[in-house]
Structure formats: C-alpha cells, structure tokens
C-alpha cells in the first residue's frame, strides 16, 4: 500500500466507462465492464492483470450507473487491491481523452499506465516498462497479433457482414520505435510515407494485422498536455498519432540558450519543464532529466547508423511499441470477440490467473446427478441444473434455473434466467432475467433482458428485445 510521502513510479488507470456501442443489444441493460466472461465480470480481468504485476491501487473510470457495483468488485471477487472509482456524468458521452482528463488531478506518479477495461491479456508487464525506461519514451504502446477470423467465429443474431477495421502500424524492427500509425478509415486511396522517414528508418515495417490493445504507458507530462488541449477527444485516434508525428520534429527551443533563472531552477528540480507556462505546443510540457541528458551526451551509444548525429538524432520526444506475439491479448470490443472469449476462457484461465483455482461448478450451485454437464461448462453461484438436462460448451450465470429435458449447446446464459422443461437452445446469448417457457427452440439468437416468449416458440438468427427495430453494429 502507499505510505505517506511515497510516490510510486507508476500509477494505473483503467478506462471502463464505454457503452459497448458495437453490441448494444447486449450492453443496453448491463454495463459493458460488468458483462460476464466465464462467470467473472469483464473488468475483473484487467484488474487481475495489474494485481499480478504488483499494483495495489488502481484508478477506475466507469459510468455513473455502475459505480456502486464496481466499488465492491474487488472484495467480491477476491482482488487484494484498492479501487479509486471515478464516475462519468450520466448526461455526457465523453471520449477516452476526456475520461483521462477527469482523473488528471489524481495523478502524482511520473509515469502512468492507461488501459481499457475490456482488455484480457496475460502480458508480462516488464516487457513494456523496460522498453519505456530504456528509451525514456513519452509513450509506449502495446500491440498484438489479430487472431480473430470473423468468418470462422459463429455469433448469435441476424446474419450480417462484419465491419472490418484495419490500422496501418509502422514499427522500426531494429529499435521498436513506433514511426507511423493511421486507421484505414483516415486514409485515401494510397498510404503515403515521407522519404525522410524511410531514410532514417530503413528497417521500417508496416503491419496491417496488428491490433492496438489500448494499453499505454505515458509520461505524466503528456497527461498535463492532454489536460490543457481539450480539442483532443480520443487517445487512440488523436493523442497517439499526434505523439508519433511530433517525435519526428525537433524541439523548437532546444538550441536556444536557457535563461539563467531557469537553469538554476532546473538544478533544484531536475525533472522540470522549462516552458510549462507556454501552452502552445507539446514540447512546452516536456520534463527534462539533467543527469540522464548528461550521461547520454557523454556516451558513445547511438540507436541508429548512417549519420553522425547523436542518439535519437537529438530529438527529445520518442514513441515506442511492444508487439505481443505469444500468449493471450484480446479486447471484448465487439460481439465476435466477446463470444470467442467466453468460449476460450476456461482454457486460458491458468495463464491469466495462475494462482486462482478454476471454478467450473460454484460451491453454492447444484447440479443433480443425472444431468450431463460438460467439463468446459461453468455454472454460477446459486444456479440449479435439473436431471435429464444436457449442457455443453455453455456458461450459466448467477441464480439461474434449468429444468428437466433441456439442451444447452454453445450458449452464454447471464444471471437470473429460468429455462423451463423441454427447451432446446443452441448458439444463443440470453441476457438477465429472461424466462424461457416450455418447449421453446432457440438457435443463434440474442435475447434481451426480460424478453417475453410464448410457449413452444421457435426462433433462429434473431435479436429479441423490447425494440425489435433497433439495429446493432457488429
């Protein structure tokens, strides 16, 4: 725990206030960060990853509606950490940058880890922190191979063509410097790269199969800049590209003599920005480390070849990237990813939480002796599964009841659901509080909260909810 006067090198901020706009049929009645993945809330996974890497306190930004539930999440699910939960205004729909501005006054550490609340990864954090420290980077970002093939992942609901999203990510394979980043949607017909960039980075590789994990390490002065520049609304879409572009520019003041008063102040405070009162440019917010600058000046080490310029070509701002090519790294930011995570989570839990005992059948649930429940299934607290019932590749939430002669195959069943006798449900996602009456046949459907079925109803590839005409962006 923090002690008085102690400031840790890193603070962690989890941004979990997203509304899940890519699968609103699932998130309209339940906060995205509380959606179940393997009978644990989605937010538990990034918090568990931070605890596994030594964090005892975390700032969490959530929507106002779920603040009280998130406040008790650590205690309920066995996380030994303190959560500082900050709520977004219910009237606003802020971007990620605005969510970060909201907690700016809580930042006291020199470096800040910012990650999305929908990220599930077994990342070894030192890969990022070592890279960040070694190059005194302004930003270090995590990328991962895109392993999701939407064509092979079955999802419930109406059949539709998935929306493709692609980023162009340019990384110097020799140094891991992030030299270029752009979304396909922001480009015209051609991808243009400046000749000078290619000359300085001859080993530049442009990737189209990487996903931005929304896991960043920032120097705190970057957040000072963000707090003042309210024109930036998105971390991924605006702040990161701005930093990547600015790193190729020289500090306009680096060759000008420093005023004597500033130099004297710098000796007393070696991590001070010389131009903090000038809000015009990001270089105004950069903090210097006189000892590190002097050691770099005296060293013969350089990060490049081909010219006689100093290390980093005498540029003070740098951005780096770590590409995670093994292990698990996936965001539950659409229906495809959410369904795939639930299918695979029991197989990944040993890596995600090696010290947590796998719980396929909660101690307070009951499965009658003649029920057939596959080993890959998970049964939540207080749930009851009757005799003559078959469950395969399915997740059953809290306080659910499954009557006799029911078949559940490849299903995600949320909390307080009652499936009555004789039902056959395949490949479907059923939200909280639904009662499925006798003899219903449901295949590849999304069933909204408290939807009312008729006895013996048959449905396939439908989205069933109060608003039948509302479309979902997959």
Structural domain for 28, as ranges? 10-249+317-343
Residues 242 and 333 in one domain: yes
Indicate the number of domains in the chain.
2
Q: What is the mean pLDDT of residues 1-19?
A: 81
Residue 82 or residue 191, greater confidence: 82
- Please choose, from the candidates 212, 191, 133, 199, the residue with its C-alpha nearest in 3D space to the C-alpha of residue 172: 199
CB 333 within 8 A of CB 21: no
Q: Does 473 map to a domain?
A: no
Using the 3D structure, point to which of 278, 309, 343 is the last residue of a domain: 343
pLDDT at 269 (0 to 100): 52
State the Cα–Cα distance between residues 16 and 118, nearest whole angstrom: 7
Of residues 270 and 444, the one with the higher pLDDT is 444
Mean pLDDT value across residues 322-337: 92
| Pairing between β-strand 407-409 and β-strand 390-392 as defined by DSSP bridges | parallel
pLDDT exceeds cutoff 50 at 270: no
Last residue of a domain, one of 343, 377, 399: 343
Same domain? For 114 and 56 the reply is yes
pLDDT exceeds cutoff 80 at 260 = no
Same domain, 83 and 20: yes
Whether residue 400 sits in one domain with residue 322: no
Residues in CB range of 426: below 8 A, 6 or more apart: 407, 409, 410, 411, 442, 443, 444
Residue range 361-394, pLDDT digits in tens: 999 999 999 999 998 899 999 999 999 999 999 9
Who wins on pLDDT, 298 or 246?
Answer: 246
- Across 44-52, average pLDDT: 96
Same domain, 373 and 226: no
**Ramachandran sector of residue 253 (left: φ over 0; alpha: ψ -120 to 50; beta: rest):** alpha
Q: Give domain status of residue 304, yes or no.
A: no
pLDDT at 29 over 90: no
* pLDDT at residue 470 tops 70: no
201 is a domain residue:
yes
Q: Are 238 and 380 within one domain?
A: no
Whether 163 and 134 map to the same domain: the answer is: yes
Burial class (CB in 10 A: 0-12, 13-18, 19+), 9: exposed
Lowest mean pLDDT across 217-221, 320-324, 340-344: 340-344
Q: How far apart are CA 329 and CA 144, in angstroms?
A: 6
Q: What is the pLDDT of residue 254?
A: 54
pLDDT tens readout for residues 274-306: 444 444 589 989 887 888 888 888 888 888 888
Most confident of 99-103, 165-169, 248-252, 255-259: 99-103
CATH of the domain at 174: 3.90.550.10
Whether 266 shows a pLDDT value over 60: the answer reads: no
Is the pTM for the entire model greater than 0.75?
yes
Q: Is residue 330 a part of any domain in this protein?
A: yes
For 28, counting Cβ atoms within 10 Å of its Cβ (0-12 exposed, 13-18 middle, 19+ buried), the class is: middle
Note whether 317 and 204 are within 8 A (CB): no
Q: What span, in angstroms and rounded, lies between the C-alpha atoms of 95 and 220?
A: 19
Cα separation of the two ends of the chain: 42
pLDDT of the residue at 4: 52
Q: Average model confidence (pLDDT) for the chain? A: 87
Q: Are 43 and 14 in contact (CB under 8 A)?
A: yes
Same domain, 193 and 165: yes
For residue 257, pLDDT beyond 80 = no
For 33, phi and psi rounded to 5 degrees?
-70, -15
Single residue among 308, 343, 378 that ends a domain in this structure: 343
Q: Does some domain include residue 263?
A: no
> Are both 331 and 422 inside the same structural domain?
no
* Domain shared by 382 and 335, yes or no: no
Q: Are residues 326 and 228 in the same domain?
A: yes
CATH of the domain at 432: 2.160.10.10
Same domain, 338 and 407: no
Domain membership flag for residue 288: no
Residue 170 lies in a domain: yes
Rounded mean pLDDT of 104-128?
Answer: 96
Residue 413 lies in a domain: yes
């Amino acid at each position: 725990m923090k002690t008085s006067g102690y400031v840790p090198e890193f603070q962690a901020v989890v941004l979990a206030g997203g509304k899940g706009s890519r699968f609103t049929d699932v998130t309209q009645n339940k906060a995205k960060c509380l959606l179940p993945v393997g009978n644990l809330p989605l937010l538990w996974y990034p918090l568990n990853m931070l605890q596994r890497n030594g964090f005892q306190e975390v700032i969490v930004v959530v929507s106002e509606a779920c603040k009280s539930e998130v406040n008790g999440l650590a205690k309920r699910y066995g996380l030994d950490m303190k959560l500082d939960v900050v709520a977004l205004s219910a009237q606003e729909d802020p971007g990620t940058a605005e969510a970060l501005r909201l907690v700016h006054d809580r930042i006291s550490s020199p470096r800040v880890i910012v990650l999305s609340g929908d990220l599930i990864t077994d990342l070894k954090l030192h890969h990022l922190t070592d890279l960040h420290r070694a190059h005194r980077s302004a930003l270090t970002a995590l990328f991962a191979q895109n392993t999701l093939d939407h064509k092979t992942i079955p999802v419930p609901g109406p059949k539709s063509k998935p929306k493709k999203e692609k980023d162009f990510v340019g990384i110097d394979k020799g140094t891991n410097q992030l030299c270029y980043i752009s979304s396909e949607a922001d480009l015209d017909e051609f991808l243009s790269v400046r000749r000078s960039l290619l000359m300085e980075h001859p080993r530049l590789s442009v990737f189209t199969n990487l996903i931005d994990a929304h896991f960043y390490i920032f120097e705190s002065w970057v957040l000072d800049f963000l707090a003042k520049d309210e024109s930036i609304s998105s971390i991924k879409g605006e702040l990161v590209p701005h930093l990547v572009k600015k790193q190729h520019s020289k500090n306009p003041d680096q060759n000008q003599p420093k005023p004597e008063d500033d130099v004297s102040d710098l000796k007393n405070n070696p991590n001070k920005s010389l131009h903090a009162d000038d809000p015009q440019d990001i270089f105004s917010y950069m903090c210097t480390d006189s000892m590190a600058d002097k050691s770099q000046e005296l060293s013969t080490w350089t990060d490049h070849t081909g010219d006689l310029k100093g290390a980093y070509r005498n540029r003070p701002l740098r951005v780096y990237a770590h590409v995670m090519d093994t292990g698990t790294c996936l965001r539950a930011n659409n229906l495809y990813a959410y369904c795939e995570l639930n299918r695979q989570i029991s197989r990944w839990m040993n890596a995600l939480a090696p010290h947590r005992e796998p719980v396929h059948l909660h101690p307070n649930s009951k499965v009658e002796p003649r029920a057939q429940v596959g080993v890959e299934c998970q049964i939540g607290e207080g749930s009851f599964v009757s005799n003559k019932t078959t469950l395969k590749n399915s997740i059953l939430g809290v306080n659910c009841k499954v009557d006799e002669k029911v078949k559940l195959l490849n299903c995600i069943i949320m909390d307080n659901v009652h499936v009555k006798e004789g039902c056959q449900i395949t490949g479907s996602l059923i939200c909280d509080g639904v009662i499925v009456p006798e003899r219903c046949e449901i295949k590849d459907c999304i069933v909204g909260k408290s939807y009312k079925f008729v006895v013996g109803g048959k449905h396939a590839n439908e989205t069933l909810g109060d608003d039948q005409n509302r479309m979902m962006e997959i």
